[in-house]
């Protein structure tokens, strides 16, 4: 997605295709989006290492890859609260389990490593807390969205 | 009339009772555990008393603490709500000893009707219909055959020694009896070490229909019609409605009379519910009695325009029932959805946590019996019921469309809820036709959800929302904003696969 600002207004384009879009945050994480006059309400929430965006009752998992690697350590200061389920961001194979049930863990510390498409991806804890459960073992195949661990 | 009532409960039902007290000019005193100090029922009450640590067995279930709080508050009566101690005769007795009025039936009535076996004996004594069958094990195949013919096919063999489906065989006609007798018995023998069987009529697609009864202390008894509670997941009610889509005036009269007869025999007072199973031929069979106010009481309230909690309080304070069964009018149709903090994608596991943002539905025909608010943390120690969403319409079709609209308006962030489940159920042909039965939802959930048709631009809207979110996270200063704008150049979406295989959900 490319975003450009002109005359105080944001213009969006996806892969070069310009959007006729008007977006406004109406409450924290809640957006009113108009696309060519059609109304959408979208909600964005963190879900472990991923973002979850819900539109028209449908939920999507997403990851923002910032080409300038602007990602901050604690995701802008928002730490997940309450019991969190950590999910696989993509399908792959668990090649390493880095934490055990009962361990305390810090936000952003690795829990498991998933290998997919010849790349290794460390799935991190969304908060500081205790590892309540590890639900996968080394060598296990996982699908996108599968729960890997629960952090209390 | 009481001046002050202590509410021995929490969550949405405590809020419900606080509201009835408010409307009647009665002071509402509540209790709270460590996990509930900030909860809605404490915020809305007139007085609140701390009763211990979060686990129920150290707080809401401790009779001494409840009585003690009531005495400290100077409350003349205790309302137990539902669950916790509501059907515990020991609380009713403790209230009597402490000279505090218990808003519910007597301990004796609870014991007589609350135990499954005691209630069945009572039902038999008053001639209430029960599922036909043998009450003891069958000695010979010949006896089984004679009994099956007398009951009428289809019948089911069941193991005397256990359940869980083991030792059960459904028999549709006489030709299947021999094999069924042999197989059920051997399965029961290997599962429980006891091959004895008994026989029952097999209810094909039974519906769970219950009758609301009320008795006062002057000997009057009424019924307020029925509720249908057949949409259940693993025997837990999920959606309830009133009236039942298959009810006829004759059936209502017959079931109501049977319920009242039973309640009278048990010398029942205050609110109670008599549960029945109803088969496809509209034969009804007594199941059990609930000696308390039920979760789903709002659907009865909406179609009868009665306030059942106020009625409970009035009866407990000694007033007579102000109407007869003949006075009760059923108008329109009401449907209730129980909103839980649970994750439909993780086998409905509870999903406690902090509620961040929230929008609740309102508008025509919508009632929300709420127990939570945005910013509150749903504790893990209790049943994660967030509240009940109830819709009333002038007919069933309007009630369904109103509920559907309300479910779309309702969202929460920070926790998972079962709202997506209701969209699926309300959109289903079976539910819309009223063609439901107690195992219907379990069967329905085995079918993968159909892909939901959505607008072309929904994904674009999702992308814009994500972009705005990212900008807000990274661009505080003007310089920062410029930098972020240049930086966000691509995003990855797992959604296309997800929408084909997942529940739509909030």
**Do B465 and A75 lie within an 8 Å CB cutoff?**
no
| Greater model confidence, B402 or B190 | B402
- Whether residue B136 is contained in a domain is answered as no
What is chain A's percent helix, strand, coil content, to nearest 5?
Answer: 0, 60, 40
The reply to whether B73 and B215 lie within a common domain is no
A69 vs B490: CA distance, rounded Å = 12
Whether the CB of B492 is below 8 Å from some CB of chain A: the reply is: yes
Q: Rounded CA gap, B455 and B445, in Å? A: 25
d(CA B54, CA B262): 38
Kindly tell me if the per-residue pLDDT of B506 is higher than 80. Answer: no
pLDDT digits (tens, 9 = 90+) for B459-477: 899 999 999 998 887 764 4
Distance between CA atoms of residues A105 and A79, nearest Å: 13
Q: In this structure, are strands B27-32 and B47-50 parallel, antiparallel, or unpaired?
A: parallel
- Three-state SS across B189-250? HHHHCCCCEEEEECCCCCEEEEEEEEECCCCCEEEEEEEEEEEEECCEEEEEEECCCCCCHH
What confidence tier does B163 reach under pLDDT thresholds 50, 70, 90?
low
Residue B309 CA: distances (Å) to CA of A37, B47, B247, B292, B314: 47, 19, 25, 11, 9
Residue B231 lies in a domain: yes
pLDDT band at B116 (very low <50, low <70, confident <90, very high): low
Neighbours of B154 (CB within 10 A): 15
Residue A60 makes CB contacts below 8 A (sequence gap 6+) with: A52, A53, A54, B459, B462, B493, B494, B495, B498, B499
On whether any CB of chain A is under 8 Å from the CB of B380, the answer is yes
pLDDT tens-place string over residues B198-237: 888 888 899 999 999 999 999 999 999 999 999 998 878 9
Quick count: other Cβ atoms within 10 Å of Cβ B72? Answer: 12
- Tell me the whole-structure pTM to 2 decimals: 0.78
Residue A107 Cα, gap to closest chain B Cα (Å): 17
d(CA A80, CA A99) in angstroms, rounded, equals 19
In this structure, the answer to whether residues B111 and B250 fall within a common structural domain is: yes
Is the CB of B466 less than 8 angstroms away from the CB of A44? yes
Q: Which of A71-80, A138-147, B435-444, B490-499 has the lowest mean pLDDT?
A: B490-499
Nearest CA in chain A to B458: A55
User: Given an 8 Å threshold on Cβ–Cβ distance, is B498 in contact with A61?
Assistant: yes
User: How far apart (Å, rounded) are the C-alpha atoms in residues B262 and A76?
Assistant: 63
Check residue A102 and report its DSSP letter.
T
Q: Do A57 and B408 touch (CB under 8 A)?
A: yes
When pLDDT is averaged across residues B450-466 and rounded to a whole number, the result is 82
CB contact (8 A) between residue A67 and residue B489? yes
Query: pLDDT tens across B339-396, in order?
Result: 999 988 778 888 889 999 999 999 999 999 999 999 999 998 998 999 999 999 999 9
Rounded to the nearest angstrom, the gap between the alpha carbon of residue B325 and the centroid of all alpha carbons in its chain is: 24
Tell me, yes or no, if B292 is annotated catalytic.
Answer: yes
Q: Are residues B295 and B233 in the same domain?
A: yes
Binning pLDDT at 50, 70 and 90, where does residue B283 land? very high
State whether A75 and B473 contact (CB < 8 Å). Answer: yes
CA distance B415 to chain A (A): 9
pLDDT at A143: 79
Interface A–B counts its CB contacts (< 8 A) at 190
Same domain as B260, residue B168: no
Residues of chain A contacting B357 with CB distance shorter than 8 Å: 27-30, 43
Contacts of A70 in chain B (CB under 8 A): 474, 483-484, 487
Domain count, chain B: 5
Query: pLDDT value at position A80?
Result: 56
Residues of chain B in contact with residue A43, where contact means CB-CB under 8 angstroms, are 357, 411, 413, 465
Residue B501 has pLDDT above 60, yes or no: no
Select from B414, B464, B504 the Cβ nearest to the Cβ of A58: B504
Q: Lowest-confidence range among A120-124, B277-281, B395-399, B485-489?
A: B485-489
The pLDDT confidence band at residue B483, using thresholds 50, 70 and 90, is: very low
CA distance B29 to chain A (A): 29
Query: Is the pLDDT score of B307 beyond 50?
Result: yes
Would you place residue B9 in the very low, low, confident or very high pLDDT band (cuts 50, 70, 90)? very high
Are B388 and B428 within one domain? yes
Distance between A97 CA and the closest CA of chain B, angstroms:
21
Residue B14 backbone class (left: φ over 0; alpha: ψ -120 to 50; beta: rest): alpha
Is residue B281 included in any domain, yes or no? yes
Site from B465, B482, B490, B506 to mutate, A interface, most A CB atoms within 10 angstroms: B465
Residue B18 has pLDDT above 60, yes or no: yes
* CATH level 3 topology of A84-151: OB fold (Dihydrolipoamide Acetyltransferase, E2P) (2.40.50)
Question: Same structural domain for residues B388 and B274?
Answer: no
Q: B123 with B84, same domain?
A: no
Q: What are phi and psi of A118, to 5 degrees?
A: 65, 15
Q: Which residue of A has its CA nearest to B491?
A: A64
Q: Compute the distance between CA of residue A127 and CA of residue B67 in angstroms, rounded to an integer.
A: 41
Which domain range does residue B10 map to?
Answer: 4-103
Closest in B465, B489, B498 to A145, CB measured: B498
> Considering CB atoms only, which of A3, A29, A68 is closest to B413?
A29
Of B352, B470, B498, Cβ closest to residue A60: B498
| Subunit contact B454:A58, Cβ cutoff 8 A | yes
Does the distance separating the beta carbons of B488 and A64 come in below 8 Å? Answer: yes
Q: State phi, psi for B124 to the nearest 5 degrees.
A: -65, -40
- Given this model, what pLDDT does residue B17 score? 98
Chain B residues within 8 A of A88 when measuring between CB atoms: none
Interatomic CA distance for residues B274 and B143, integer angstroms: 33
Question: Domain map of chain A by residue range?
Answer: 2-62, 84-151
Nearest CA-CA distance, residue A11 and chain B, Å: 10
Interchain proximity B474–A45, CB inside 8 Å = no
Contact B465 A53 (CB under 8 A): yes
Cα separation, B278 vs B155, in Å, equals 16
Contact A54 B459 (CB under 8 A): no
User: Among candidates B6, B22, B12, which has minimal Cα distance to B371?
Assistant: B12
Split chain A (152 residues) into runs of 10 and give each run's mean pLDDT. 82 87 92 92 85 86 65 43 77 88 88 78 85 91 84 87
Q: Which of B27, B292, B423, B424 is catalytic?
A: B292
| Model pLDDT, residue B494 | 38
Q: Are residues B357 and B228 in the same domain?
A: no
> Per the CB < 8 Å rule, is A59 touching B411?
no
Clarify whether residues B35 and B156 are in a common domain: no
SS3 A124: strand
Instruction: Report the pLDDT value the prediction gives residue B248, as an integer from 0 to 100.
Output: 97
Q: Which of B379, B449, B461 to mutate to probe the A interface, most A CBs <10 Å?
A: B461
B216 and B194 both lie in a single domain: no
Of A38-42, A107-111, B70-74, B245-249, the range with the lowest mean pLDDT is: A107-111
Assembly ipTM: 0.70
CATH code (residue B154): 3.30.1490.20
According to the model, what pLDDT value does residue B56 have?
Answer: 94
pLDDT of residue A145: 75
| List of chain B residues whose C-beta atoms are within 8 Å of the C-beta of residue A5 | 485
Identify which of B357, B423, B490 has the shortest CB distance to residue A1.
Answer: B490
Do B113 and B247 share a domain, yes or no? yes
The pLDDT, as a whole number, for residue A89 is: 74
| Burial group, residue B398, by CB count within 10 angstroms (0-12, 13-18, 19+) | middle
In chain A, residues with a C-beta closer than 8 Å to the C-beta of B466 are 1, 44, 51, 53, 62, 64
CB contact under 8 A, B414 and A60: no
**Residues B54, B175 share a domain:** no
**pLDDT tier at B502 (50, 70, 90 boundaries)?**
very low
- Minimal Cα distance from B506: which residue of A? A57
Nearest residue to B444 (alpha-carbon basis) of B423, B473, B474 = B423
CATH number, domain with residue B219: 3.30.470.20
A123 to chain B, minimum CA–CA distance in Å? 16
């Amino acid at each position: 997605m490319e975003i450009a600002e002109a005359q105080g207004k944001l213009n969006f384009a996806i892969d070069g295709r310009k959007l006729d879009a008007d977006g406004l945050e109406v409450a924290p994480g809640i957006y009113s989006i108009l696309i060519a006059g059609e109304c959408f309400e979208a909600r964005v929430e963190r879900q472990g290492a991923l973002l979850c965006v819900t539109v028209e009752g449908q939920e999507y998992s997403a990851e923002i890859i910032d080409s300038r690697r602007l990602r901050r350590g604690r995701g802008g200061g928002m730490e997940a609260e309450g019991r969190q389920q950590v999910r696989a961001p993509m399908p792959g194979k668990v090649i390493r389990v880095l934490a055990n049930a009962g361990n305390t863990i810090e936000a952003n510390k690795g829990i498991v490593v998933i290998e997919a498409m010849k790349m290794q991806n460390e799935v991190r804890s969304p908060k500081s807390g205790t590892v309540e459960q590890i639900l996968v073992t080394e060598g296990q195949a996982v699908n996108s969205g599968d729960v890997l661990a629960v952090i209390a | 009339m009481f001046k002050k009532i202590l509410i021995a409960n929490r969550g949405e039902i405590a809020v419900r009772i606080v509201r009835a007290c408010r409307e009647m000019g009665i002071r509402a005193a509540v209790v709270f555990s460590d996990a509930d100090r900030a909860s809605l029922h404490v915020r809305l009450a007139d007085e609140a008393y701390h009763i211990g640590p979060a686990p129920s067995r150290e707080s809401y279930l401790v009779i001494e603490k409840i009585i003690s709080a009531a005495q400290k508050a100077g409350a003349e009566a205790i309302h137990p709500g539902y669950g916790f101690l509501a059907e515990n005769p020991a609380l009713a007795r403790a209230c009597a000893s402490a000279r505090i009025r218990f808003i519910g039936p007597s301990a004796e009535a609870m014991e007589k009707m609350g135990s499954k076996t005691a209630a069945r004996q009572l039902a038999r004594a008053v001639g209430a219909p029960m599922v036909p069958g043998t009450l003891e094990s069958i000695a010979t195949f010949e006896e089984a055959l004679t009994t099956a013919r007398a009951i009428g096919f289809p019948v089911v063999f069941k193991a005397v020694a256990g359940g869980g489906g083991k030792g059960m065989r459904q028999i549709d006609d006489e030709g299947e009896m021999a094999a069924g007798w042999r197989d059920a018995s051997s399965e029961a023998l290997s599962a429980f070490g006891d091959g004895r069987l008994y026989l029952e009529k097999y209810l094909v697609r039974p519906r769970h229909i219950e009758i609301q009864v009320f008795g006062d202390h002057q000997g009057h008894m009424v019924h307020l019609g029925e509720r249908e509670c057949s949409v259940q997941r693993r025997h837990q009610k999920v959606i309830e409605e009133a009236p039942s889509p298959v009810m006829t005036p004759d059936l209502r009269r017959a079931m109501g009379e049977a319920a009242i007869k039973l309640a009278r025999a048990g010398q029942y007072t205050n609110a109670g519910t008599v549960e029945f199973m109803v088969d496809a031929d509209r034969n009804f069979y007594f199941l059990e009695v609930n000696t308390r106010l039920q979760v789903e009481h709002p659907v009865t309230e909406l179609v009868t325009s009665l306030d059942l909690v106020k009625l409970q309080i009035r009866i407990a304070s000694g007033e007579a029932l102000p109407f007869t069964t003949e006075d009760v009018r059923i108008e329109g149709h009401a449907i209730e959805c129980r909103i839980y903090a649970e994750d439909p994608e993780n086998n409905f596991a509870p999903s406690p946590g902090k509620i961040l943002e929230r929008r609740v539905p309102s508008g025509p025909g919508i009632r929300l019996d709420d127990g939570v608010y945005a910013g509150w943390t749903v504790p893990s120690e209790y049943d994660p019921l967030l509240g009940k969403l109830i819709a009333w319409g002038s007919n069933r079709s309007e009630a369904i469309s109103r509920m559907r609209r309300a479910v779309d308006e309702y969202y929460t962030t920070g926790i998972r809820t079962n709202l997506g489940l209701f969209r699926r159920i309300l959109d289903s042909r079976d539910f819309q036709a009223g063609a439901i039965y107690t195992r219907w939802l379990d069967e329905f959930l085995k079918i993968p959800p159909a892909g939901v048709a959505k607008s072309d631009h929904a994904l674009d809207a999702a992308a814009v929302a994500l972009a705005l979110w990212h900008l807000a996270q990274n661009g505080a200063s003007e310089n920062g904003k410029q930098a972020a704008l240049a930086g966000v150049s691509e995003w990855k979406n797992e959604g296309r696969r997800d929408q084909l295989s997942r529940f739509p959900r909030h």
